[in-house]
Structure 1
């Protein structure tokens, strides 16, 4: 009607807006009509929703029992149990209403309202579960690994704050997006703020995440002997910012976690054996048959001490010696045992060579003197010894 009157220059007639009472009456009429038309679907939806809620309540009760048996989170079952125990009743109700509304084809107004509350409930419940799982995994690692429990325990307060902030921020953005709120500016603001905080505390967060990387990835543990650059040391403490080590000279070495992980680290403790190399040199006057038997002699010495022989043989002609090399494995990761075995092997080789008549070489030099015509002469003049008789008195 308004479109027909406008070309004639007549005033348009505005349709009166419905009052709250009229809208309520219309909603009630629509609801009654929907109940009459979809009673069977509504009853089936209610039954299905009741079963699902009953099952979820049983799962929650089961989770509580598991968590009550071991509230210290020492097992993965207790972590899962605590997470299941945090399932909220309002989430179950929202899930049940959503199932009923979808299955029974509820009116748009009712379905939209139920869908909004269901989306809100899902986001909040998922955030609660996520926080519980993340903190549960970290706390479980704190309790099961005694070597890293001290470091994780000191970091737990900061970790809880960071995890809670992250989960709440993500959940808030999702909720606002479901409310058709433009979250672009909020996301950009959080991003800029995060970058500013990250730049301001770059060193602290870098060392913190490096410490967590050491704890979870375990490239080394407390008490391990490691080698990096030219440092051989034993790990004494893994802190949030730095790791403290004790080198072989007794000095304490303190290095930041980030700097330590940037290096190539050799973990010597995880070896089930250690290889020892010996260089042996004998004089050039050694008979050829005895020189050929030296590798066999070295094998006998190594095996007599209970070590694992690898190889031995002639490696070169030295300035004043025939050079041999011996390689054998000591079947122990303990460096004290290895050092003692190296000592015993060296002494045993020394004794065996003495028994075999093999002489160790040492730096020597022989000087030859020649006459002007090239004839070899002695480096000192010939002296004729004259015997004299002692006269009798």
Structure 2
């Protein structure tokens, strides 16, 4: 008996729903016929205006396509906007035309609500498409203008395109469902939990991916720049999805994760107007004070003759085996091979000038004194006779 009652109730509900839908459909067509009969002039005028709007929007879309075709080299903002405009869909154009003239045509309430709903759906998803094109265009513009290349980075852009598309269309879907009267609180919470789960599962990949984006937009360095970090000095060869490759000056390729690289102190030594060379110079303690006073001027002359500019040439301190001077000089440009050649000229010039001036560069030496228990200095080997010099021609002397 209970099953039979339930079945009967279900049949009654289905019948009532069918009857209600049939009644609404009949009322809709009745209102539509009445509307056509009483507002035919407004409908014709609105249709003509809608056709004009439709063709105008189509012309705007064609203009965007032509703007994209004319672009050469890295895309500018005009090309990016043109690309976004060219992605305008026919459904959005039709619903925009209908929405703009619906107020003048005064359609029935049900038809007006239908037009409003369809326009909302079209506008929300079209806005998502436009936003996607602008965001991706801005990223591609940065990667092209700042000389970032490589298959790995192209893969990164593909992943970015997927993430941006999914995020924007998920937001669009939530907005549409909210306009339908659906409670989207649970859906938003579910999307949030799912996003957190995915983020935790791939946090390493996302950390390096966002680090790569930070490198692209913040521009601490670019491909081809000379950088130094820790004990590595080299040229950036490739900035990828997860790592950056740096070829050191000794020929090795160092691969370091993007996140770890940004956590370090990086010195970008590219595009400098000069290279500064630091060169310590030590002379013997037996050098006369007059020569010590003239030494900065001597060093300055040697550097200028080699093609450099002295930044500092001065007394540094008293070392263990020498009187120490410090020489800093600049070499124009940022070419290290040229700088090394100039540095070699300076070193050879210092050796030649010191030899001509009688200035000696001492070896590291240590003098040991021997004393007896009373503290009196004594010769360590008193029985050793001095070595006599023997000349081959004159014999012993």
Q: Give the match for residue 228 of structure 2.
A: 227
Tell me, in whole angstroms, the C-alpha distance in 1 between the residues paired with 2:247 and 2:23.
Answer: 82
Tell me, in whole angstroms, the C-alpha distance in 1 between the residues paired with 2:335 and 2:188.
Answer: 54
Q: Give the match for residue 238 of structure 1.
A: 239
Aligned 8 A contact 1:73 1:136 in 2: no
- Which stretch shifts more, 202-211 or 101-110? 101-110
Aligned 8 A contact 1:98 1:115 in 2: yes
Q: Give the deviation of 1:160 after TM superposition.
A: 3.0
Number of aligned pairs? 363
Q: Give the deviation of 1:186 after TM superposition.
A: 1.0
| CA distances 1:85-107 after superposition (whole Å, capped 9, x unpaired) | 12223322322222223467665
| CA distances 1:212-267 after superposition (whole Å, capped 9, x unpaired) | 33334332233333222223333333332222333344443222222222211112
1:164 has 2:165 as partner: yes
- Tell me the C-alpha RMSD between the 2 structures: 3.7
1:119 has 2:120 as partner: yes
- Which stretch shifts more, 255-264 or 268-277? 268-277
Q: Give the deviation of 1:195 after TM superposition.
A: 1.1
Tell me, in whole angstroms, the C-alpha distance in 2 between the residues paired with 1:293 and 1:249.
Answer: 39
Q: Give the deviation of 1:124 after TM superposition.
A: 1.6
Q: Give the deviation of 1:58 after TM superposition.
A: 2.5
Counterpart mapping for 1:52-131 below 5 A: 52-70=53-71, 74-102=75-103, 108-131=109-132
Q: Give the match for residue 357 of structure 1.
A: 358
Aligned 8 A contact 2:276 2:330 in 1: yes
**TM-score using structure 1 length:** 0.78
Q: Give the deviation of 1:173 after TM superposition.
A: 0.9
**Measured at CA, do residues 374 and 226 of structure 1 come closer, stay the same or move farther in structure 2, by a change above 3 Å?**
closer
Tell me, in whole angstroms, the C-alpha distance in 2 between the residues paired with 1:311 and 1:157.
Answer: 52
**Measured at CA, do residues 277 and 70 of structure 1 come closer, stay the same or move farther in structure 2, by a change above 3 Å?**
closer
1:173 has 2:201 as partner: no
- Which stretch shifts more, 341-350 or 140-149? 140-149
Tell me, in whole angstroms, the C-alpha distance in 2 between the residues paired with 1:365 and 1:159.
Answer: 66
Structure 2 spans left out of the alignment, 5+ residues: 1-19, 386-397
**Measured at CA, do residues 22 and 91 of structure 1 come closer, stay the same or move farther in structure 2, by a change above 3 Å?**
closer
Tell me, in whole angstroms, the C-alpha distance in 1 between the residues paired with 2:106 and 2:370.
Answer: 119
| CA distances 1:306-342 after superposition (whole Å, capped 9, x unpaired) | 1111111112223343221111111222222222222
Tell me, in whole angstroms, the C-alpha distance in 2 between the residues paired with 1:153 and 1:373.
Answer: 82
1:283 has 2:284 as partner: yes
1:304 has 2:309 as partner: no
Aligned 8 A contact 1:207 1:240 in 2: yes
Q: Give the deviation of 1:170 after TM superposition.
A: 1.4
- Which stretch shifts more, 151-160 or 350-359? 151-160
The secondary structure found in structure 2 opposite 1:358 is coil
Tell me, in whole angstroms, the C-alpha distance in 1 between the residues paired with 2:109 and 2:74.
Answer: 46
Q: Give the deviation of 1:375 after TM superposition.
A: 9.8
Aligned 8 A contact 1:246 1:252 in 2: yes
**Measured at CA, do residues 302 and 147 of structure 1 come closer, stay the same or move farther in structure 2, by a change above 3 Å?**
same
Aligned 8 A contact 2:146 2:216 in 1: no
Tell me, in whole angstroms, the C-alpha distance in 1 between the residues paired with 2:375 and 2:153.
Answer: 83
1:183 has 2:184 as partner: yes
**Measured at CA, do residues 372 and 150 of structure 1 come closer, stay the same or move farther in structure 2, by a change above 3 Å?**
closer
- Which stretch shifts more, 236-245 or 305-314? 236-245
Q: Give the deviation of 1:118 after TM superposition.
A: 1.4
Counterpart mapping for 1:308-347 below 5 A: 308-347=309-348
